Structures are given as structure tokens and as C-alpha cells.
Structure 1
Amino acid sequence: MPKQEIVTPKFTELNELASKINGGKILFATDDWFAQAENLLTPEEAVFKPDLYTDCGKWMDGWETRRRRCPGHDWCIIKLGIPGVIHGIDLDTAFFTGNYAPRFSLQAANLNDEDEQFIPEREKDMIGTASTKEMFEKMRKLNSKGWEELIHMSDLQPGYEETRHNYFHVDSNKVWTHLRLNIYPDGGIARLRVFGEAFCDENVKDTSEIVDLVALQNGGVCKGYSNAHYGHPRNLIRPGQGVNMGDGWETARRLDRPAILETDPYGILQVPGNEWAVFRLGYIGSVNYIEVDTKHFKGNFPDSVKIEGTLMKPTREWNNRAIAQCDWHTILPASKLSADRVHHFDDHDIRKTGPFSHVRVTIAPDGGISRLRIYGNIIAPFPR
């Protein structure tokens, strides 16, 4: 019997709002007996260690509660690393085959810092613990049970390779800061991926401030790319420095590379092909200076980078043809890169400053970049 192809929804190309690497946190969990809830937000794929046990039982890479022997069900509170609009989620039950949570639901709220005073502080290691009566009493003041329901109670599938990814579309245009993940009645989930777009302030008034226009936290989002064999280009706009090569954008080696490589008078390789990624900026803005970071990419950095910009109305459909037909203007001409360092490009290097709503980053011939920063002035909020 032929293997069934797993269809990945389009929303999985968006930013991961709850990921630990983007600042997501577990604030509360009813039970962390076998494995603590913090594992849900780990950016790396779940792993299985068949011979590893703890004092509480089998070690699992995910959140797993004990087999419940009292009324109720288990749940946890998640603070999104980046407040934003959620378009979909992936509940990954990897390796939870006979112990996965059979059902779940998802609720959401938009809270401020004062609301978090009701949430008891979690210890660093919660394995083998459960929330006390006093913790539950404190949490009742938050009234998370009454938060808006994004996904009604739904069935989950076991953590075999062909069934582990449980994708759910979220139909909401509201901005959320916190989630309540309910599992019914107990069990395990390996990872929670929350895909969406960060919120940018549409009432911004100070247009003199220099900001990173493409940053995830400012509303930047990847809208298309040519190749993402080893790492997705959305990683480029994450906060902070890249932690390793997996935390960046890396393409496969192009097969149209010439057998013998040659350079132009400026030392840039002359190759027939390249790879690209397009980003919608969080705000329409003008470009002041750019940083391209190849941190961790030592034997596989691109030879050169070029950055172009365009100003266009928002559109739902982005495909290769639509991207190619945009009126692109060169911001940064093809510029030489080197290994494992931050490259700074200022007004001496930049040709066009904008205004721009989107940028296209082209690397030649292939390779990896860790981070991209495009600093400039806000001209207007991006129309939604």
C-alpha cells in the first residue's frame, strides 16, 4: 500500500508565536508528572530515548501528565513570545503512541502584565509535581476557564510518523497574548506550534524612531522563498542572535553551479542561479541601514547578497509569478559576504531608501544566513 502523503497547511510558513526561542513561556500547568509542559515550546523536533527513565517513570520529550484518578482534566497557560493574530496550530504527538492526549481544546486571551500577578511562579524543574489547591485558588482569579475558545474540543491522533501532526486552522483576526491549552482528560503532547503574524501598532505616531522594519516582533513575516532545505527563511527575523545553523535560513547546494568557479572584478562569483526570500515589513518604511549576519555559517555562507524593495497593496495570494512581477528596486546591490560575522551596510552602500512595504533577499549561489535586520523610519502602518 503506498505511503499517504502528509499535506502541510500554508499557515505553517508563518512565524511561530509561542516558540521558546521567540520568547514563549509556560506560566502554569495542572500536572507535570512524567514530563514538564516547557517541552511543548522547544524549537527542536522531539526525540525518543528508549532506555531513559526518571524516578517518575519513562522520560518523554513533551508534556505528559499522570493518569488522572480524580475529577477534571489537565490544562496549561502559555504566554506567547510575540502577541499576534493566530492563523493555525500544530499539535505534535510525536512518540506518544499509547499515552497521547486523546482530545484537546484551545482558548485565548489578551492580558496585560497586571493580570499575570494571579499566576503562581513555576520552578525550573517541575517533573513529578502537580499544582496544589492553593495554586488553583490563585488561578481562579484569572478566570481562564472563561477565555474565548479558538478551537472546540477535538480529537488528536497518536504519535506515529504518519499521524503525529495534528493541524488546526484558527479563524480569528484578534490579537492574543496568552493561550490555555486543555487536554482531555490527561496524557501527552510533544510540541505545540502556534503560527501567525505579530501585532504591530497601527496607531504609531513617532515616525522619527529607527526600528527594525522586518523584525518578527514588529510584524514582519516571510511571504515566499525559493528553497528552504535546511532552515526556513522566517528564522532570519527572529529576535536575538542565532543559536546554531538550524536557527537560520539555509538552502541546498544549487546543481547549476559551474564546474570551475570564476569571479568578477569585485570578487563576486559569477553563477547562473541564486536563491531568494520575500518578506512583508511590519511597517511601510524607508531604509537607513542593513545588517546581514552569517553567524555559525562558516563553510556554507553565501558568496553574496542582494536586497530589493517594493511598495504594494496587501494581498492574500503570493506565488512565484506574483513575486517576479513586482516592481523591485535595488536597495543593496550584490555585496560580498564572509563567514560567521555581522555585515553592516549603511548609506554608502544603499541605493534606494524607499518607501517600501516588502523586501526580497537574494543570495548567490546558495548557502545560509543567520539573521537579517533592516533598520529604518516608519512612514505608515501596513494596511491590514
Structure 2
Amino acid sequence: MADLPTTTLQKLPKFTELNDLVSQKVGATVLYSTDDWFAIAENLLLPSEPVFKPSVFTEYGKWMDGWETRRKRIPGHDWCIIQLGIPGIIYGIDVDTSFFTGNYVPKVSVQAARLKTKLPGRESKMGTAASSEQTNAIAKLKSQDWEEILSVNPLKPGYKTSCHNYFTVAASTAYSHIRLNMFPDGGIARLRVYGRAVPDWSRISNSEVIDLVAMQNGGMCVGYSDVHYGHARNLIQPGRADVMADGWETARKSDRPAVLEQDTSGILKVPGMDWCVFRLGHAGIISKIEIDTNHFKGNFPDSCKIEGEYISCC
């Protein structure tokens, strides 16, 4: 028997409709982590939902699908540096503690900065802590002085009804990196940083053909009729979909006719339609459109149409 979606258990803030700027799918990376004993910090960025495997243990302890540090036995607290996949304005954060119930992080804060240089990544390994060389190298960023976009806030344990910890961010500038602070240690399953990508349009020629709706170019989904199986914002993610869940899929309409007919043009006559609305990253002249139905074989749309409008107020 299926469980109710988590979205019905917790009312979702509006910012969760935006793009996740720290998903591995958009190129986000962990540059530094103080400790990766039970589970590595890269798990925070996985696009998949966290899972729990009750009987699975590693040589370091219980296997957990997230980032989990060891119990602190020295002064300080744990933290990591994450490079956003795409620099952008951050509107909200979800710190997901799924399945971390007796070992979740009690409090967190988030700092952010816009750095001009691309920094090297790291090789993560379970059961390790940051070396003195790594710590000394990352100290040059002076991340402890970055702007605080989320002050110290308590988290709730990772039960189904409390695992999502949503925080609105009042930021007006674009950031490229964030520092996630644990107080003092523990586990977090996933981190979602919702916002709008802000590309450098000065580097793009007016005559260049680009994807105006792509999330990396500032495109955003601003409305939809239904996202039962897959969110409409998936349509503007980088690259092609790996699986069907990476696309937009609606529920079948329960009031659809028992027997379908088609009009003289070959279009099925089905009352109503599903729709989604996107704000382009930049106003432009549309010359080409691609609609990719990759992986949708028995459930692709029969037909579609696209409408456009120039709205100067937003």
C-alpha cells in the first residue's frame, strides 16, 4: 500500500518550486568537509530521495544515506564548503534529516559568498577527517567571515512528518559558494538550495543562439496544472533525462472519456489539458524549440502547443 506523498504531510513553501542550485545534476560539488566518518558530504547533493537500509553496516558504523560526522571529541563543530552548480540568488533552503532520528544535527547555519575563481574539488572517503593540509588550504577562503544567509536554527528529527526543515532566505545578490555549519555534529540526509541562476549576460552575444528557458540561463518554472509523477521544472534541467522521473509527468485525468475520439486533424478529443508556465532567463526572439520525450513511451503526450508573452513587470 502506497504512503501519502511527503508533500501532503508538510505544507511546502513556495520557494520549493524553484531550481535546486546544489544538486549534483547541475554540477554542484563539495570542496571541503571537516569529517566524513559515517557518510560522506557528497550525499547531501544527490538528486534522489534518501533511503534507509536497516541491516546495512560498514566498518565505520551504520550505513546512512546522507552526510554524517562522528561524535565530536575535540573542540569546534563540523562544516563543509559547497560550490553551487550554477551561481544564483538563493530564496530558500531545505535541510532534510530523513532517517536521522537519534543522530540528526541539532542546529545549523549557512553562510555564502560569490567567488570569481573556480576551486579544485576533493576525493571523499568514508571514515576520514580533513587533513591539516586541506584545512590550511581552505582557510585561505576565510569562509568563517562569509555573509550569513541563515542564522543558527534548530533542526527537527528525520521522521516522515518532521524531516524537512524549510528556511526562507532574504537574499538579493547571487552567490557561488555556501558554507554549511553543523552545531556541533551529526547527520543530514539532503540539502536543497532553491533559487534562480544568474548567468553573466555580458559574455553572451546578442546574436548567439542559446536556450532561453534553461535553468542555467536563469529560466524558472512559475506555474503548472499537475506534477504528480515529475515536476515541470525538470524540463529545463541541464542535459538529457536519465530516467522517466527526470521529466514532467502528470497524473491521468480521472474524468477522461471512457472511449477516446479524434478530430479531423488527428488530435484526440480529451476535455481539458495539463500545462506549465516558464519565465525565460532573458527576453529574446525564439527561433527554435525542442520537445524531448526521451523515456516516455507508453505515456508521452498526444499533442502540445506553446504560447508566449512578453511581460515587463517581472
Same fold (TM over 0.5): yes
Q: Secondary structure of 2:308's partner?
A: strand
Q: Secondary structure at the match of 2:285?
A: strand
- Secondary structure of 2:281's aligned partner: strand
The amino acid across from 1:122 in the alignment is R
CA distance in 2, matches of 1:5, 1:183: 26
1:16 equivalent in structure 2? 20
5+ residue gaps, structure 1: 316-384
- Find out whether 1:98 has 2:102 as its counterpart: yes
Q: State TM-score, norm by structure 2.
A: 0.95
Alpha-carbon distance between aligned partners in 2 of 1:73 and 1:194, rounded to the nearest angstrom: 22
For 2:61 and 2:279, the matched residues in 1 are separated by 47
2:122 paired with 1:122: yes
Aligned partner of 1:76 in structure 2 is 80
Larger Rg computed on CA atoms: 1
Note the alpha carbon deviations across 1:255-306, whole angstroms, 9 max, x for none. Answer: 2321111122332211111100000001111111110001111111110111
| Corresponding residue for residue 5 of structure 2 | none
Q: How does 1:144-155 map to 2 (within 5 A)?
A: 144-155=143-154
1:112 and 2:116 matched: yes
Higher relative contact order (CA closer than 8 Å, sequence separation 6+): 2
Tell me, yes or no, if the aligned pair for 1:110 and 1:176 is still in contact at 8 Å: yes
Distance verdict in 2 for CA 1:249–1:205, change over 3 Å: closer
Contact 1:88 1:195 (8 Å CA) reproduced: yes
User: 1:205, 1:312 → 2: CA distance?
Assistant: 22
Q: Is the 1:86–1:170 Cα contact (8 Å) retained in structure 2? A: yes
- TM-aligned CA deviation for residue 175 of structure 1: 0.3
Once the two structures are superposed, residues 4-47 of structure 1 have per-residue CA deviations (whole angstroms, 9 ceiling, x without a partner) of: 95221000001111111111111111100000001001111100
Superimposed CA distance per residue, residues 130-153 of structure 1 (whole angstroms, 9 cap, x where no aligned partner) = 101121111111111111110111
2:170 alignment partner AA: D
- Corresponding residue for residue 287 of structure 1: 286
The aligned amino acid for 1:74 is D
- Matched letter for residue 79 of structure 1: Q
Task: Evaluate the alpha carbon distance shift between residue 208 and residue 89 of structure 1 in structure 2; reply closer, same or farther with a 3 A threshold.
Answer: same
Secondary structure at the counterpart of residue 21 of structure 1: helix
Retained in 2: the 8 A contact 1:256–1:273? Answer: no
Q: Which residue of 2 aligns with 1:52?
A: 56
Q: Which amino acid in the other structure matches residue 176 of structure 2? A: T
Question: Is the CA contact (8 Å cut-off) linking 1:34 and 1:57 kept in structure 2?
Answer: yes
Q: How does 1:196-345 map to 2 (within 5 A)?
A: 196-201=195-200, 203=202, 206-315=205-314
State the partner residue of 1:173: 172
**19-28 or 259-268, larger mean C-alpha shift:** 259-268
CA distance in 2, matches of 1:140, 1:255: 57
3-state DSSP of counterpart to 2:305: strand
Q: Any gaps of 5 or more consecutive residues in structure 2? A: 1-7
- What is the alpha-carbon distance in structure 2 between the residues aligned to residue 193 and residue 142 of structure 1? 23
Counterpart AA for 1:53: F
Secondary structure in 2 matching 1:268: coil
RMSD (Å) for aligned C-alpha atoms: 1.4
Q: Distance in 2 between matches of 1:139 and 1:289?
A: 44
TM-score computed with the length of structure 1 as normaliser = 0.78
Instruction: State the alpha-carbon separation in 2 of the partners of residues 66 and 5 from structure 1.
Output: 31
Distance 1:282 1:75 in 2: 33
Give % identity.
58
